[in-house]
Amino acid sequence: MQLDILTPEHKVYSGTVYGIQLPGIEGSFEILDHHAPIIASLGRGKMKIMKDKNHTENYEIAAGFVEVLNNKATVLIEGATSID
């Protein structure tokens, strides 16, 4: 699926991924390739980008939203810091 992660200042990530784990306001959830359409609110927490089954990137994010439509996920967040 195509993933775009944006903050007001810059683009954090853009590319094809296997899935993404996000901190929802009521708990963590995961979006995988070909997920059903969804719009969800995000809270502060850890976001994991799964490039494939063996490679990931991790970020600490502030609040925001995610929209999934036509196998494209767009994540709009207030800020993101890369973590290992």
pLDDT of residue 84: 74
Instruction: Report the topology of domain 2-83.
Output: ATP Synthase; domain 1 (2.60.15)
Greatest pairwise CA separation for the chain in angstroms = 31
* Residues recorded for the chain: 84
Does 21 have pLDDT greater than 90? yes
Does 83 have pLDDT greater than 80? yes
Closest by Cα among 31, 76, 62 to 49:
31
Q: pLDDT tens digit string along 22-79?
A: 999 999 999 999 999 999 999 999 999 999 889 999 999 999 999 999 999 999 999 9
pLDDT of residue 82: 93
Tell me whether residue 36 is exposed, middle or buried, using C-beta atoms within 10 angstroms of its C-beta: 0 to 12, 13 to 18, 19 or more: exposed
b/e code 54-78 from CB counts within 10 Å (16+ = b): eeebebebeebebebeeeebebebe
